[in-house]
Structure 1
Amino acid sequence: MSDGPKLYTNKPKKGQLKPKAKDYSTPVPNPSTPKMESSQSTPPPPPKESFARRYKFLWPLLLTVNLAVGAYLFMRTGNKDTGTEAEEVAQEVPSAPVESTAVPVPEKTLAVPIVVEPIKVHKPIQENEQRQLFKWMLEEKRNTKPENASEKKCIDEEKAILKQFIRAKSIPTF
């Protein structure tokens, strides 16, 4: 039998290998001590498996979750295309003075598709009707009771603007 290279399926540790005989460091076996053969005869622990093999039950779960997230994102982007139709309708309507008020939309309702109604163009209001409307607004501003000085200053500025519109020869269109 030759002491050639041995091929191990499980590589033994240094402590499990037989020490090579050296002249100056060869220990003399003591018959009174118990033999160490019993610890050397136990099989070495099995090798560590790779991460992928240890957690192979997680791969199908990971792929399923990834597919579900991808499908959710794909479906969500499909619903956003409905806003382009409202822009086309707005371009076809002739430009006219229209006041629009911005309504704040809570973020929770964004998941529900919002139906956009086309902008209705109303007939322009005549100048005498606008003057009557400005006079009515001025009366309402006069009836309001300001709570502090800054609010009073703001109301006074708005009343001054309304008075300018009422006294003007022609009312500007917006």
Structure 2
Amino acid sequence: MSDEGPKLYTNKPNKAQVKQAQAKAKDFTVPPSSSSSASHGGSVPPPPPPKESFVRRNKFLWPLLLTVNLAVGGYVYFRTKKDNTSPSSEETETETKTVPPLLVTAEKPHSLAVAAEPVKAREPIPEKEQRELFKWMLDEKRKVKPKDPEEKKRMDEEKAILKQFIRAKTIPNL
């Protein structure tokens, strides 16, 4: 039979026929002098095939998982980088830098003393530059779209004040 090669069936054999063929092949390959099969009173069932690991069973998921992970990481990275460069955060940083730090005195640890730093007088900004600055502020206010009527009203008032400063002959010193 082994000289003929593999058999091609015109009809697929059912499970019972396949099991019979496997049992015959097993009986033929197991040596009759084995002591383990004699002590159990029959043939020993073969050990179950080793189960594949989770990684190997789901190897098609790894590229998808890595792609999603990179996309989320990139989104979070660029989102936080964008938030850190906002002009409002720069304004708050400059405001906090101008406030003098508080010092704790060595004699009284519970009392706080304000450090006496002299306030530096800055040079006044020329009127021409102030007008340019007001014009730029007005342009920026026009670009902002208000979310509700109260904010629209507040924005209109601020724009009106900026227009008054631009049209005025002299700009008041602050």
What TM-score, normalized by structure 2, do the two folds share? 0.35
Higher relative contact order (CA 8 A, sep 6+): 1
What TM-score, normalized by structure 1, do the two folds share? 0.35
Larger relative helix fraction? 2
